[in-house]
Amino acid sequence: PAGAKWEQTLLFPDHQRWFLGWDRFSCPFSAPQVMMRMDMPGHIKHHGGDVFRQIYLSYHGTIPQHQFHTNFSPDAKYLYRRDEKHLPKRFIRAMQLESGAWLAGMALDPSVVYEAWCHQRDYVCFISEFGGRAVKPGEWVGAVHLVGYFDSIRDMEKTYDHYKHTNAIKITHQGWSTV
């Protein structure tokens, strides 16, 4: 809406195969529920699973690529909706490439994810929404994501656990840190 502000900070640490992205927005008025939609780690354009081996959803487990050979709607399978009483330990969504490496997108604070889809519509869709809560005028809503390549699910989990509950990135002349 008019008057809304969006900011994005991208941080590419030296010697890593991943980056941090902090997206946040403000709403100029009170609203009962606001959210931002993202595609994380990205859509997978494929023909019968020819570019990936499997999908990993930390709140579901691994899913073989043959599950994505026919189209299905977002609410048919693998739909995530936030349940404040049962938040997942981690919020990681990834695809294992034919090379064996994993491309992952992680919301570093599981409580910010409102809803997430993993469905097939001639491509695998990885849309997620963060926010989904009431805001006051000028209040900021944001999320920090970690996106990149990993050698294993355990490697993803280890990196996730190091940065878990990150809600902001602080950059100064001396360096950077997560908050």
Per-residue pLDDT reduced to its tens digit, 62-101: 999 999 999 999 999 999 999 999 999 999 999 999 999 9
Distance of CA 16 to the CA centre of its chain: 18
Nearest to 84 by CA among 56, 112, 108: 112
H helix count then E strand count, the chain = 1, 16
CA distance 78 to 62: 11
SS3 68: helix
Which pLDDT belongs to residue 4? 87
pLDDT of residue 42: 87
Q: What percentage of the chain exceeds 70 in pLDDT?
A: 99
- Contacts of residues 7-16 at CB distance under 8 Å and 24 or more positions apart, as own/partner, are 9/169, 9/171, 11/169, 11/171, 11/176, 13/176, 16/148
Helix/strand/coil for 42? coil
The tens digit of pLDDT for each residue in 135-145 reads 999 999 999 99
pLDDT on residue 106: 98
Confidence of residue 40 (pLDDT cuts 50, 70, 90): confident
Nearest to 157 by CA among 79, 104, 98, 82: 104
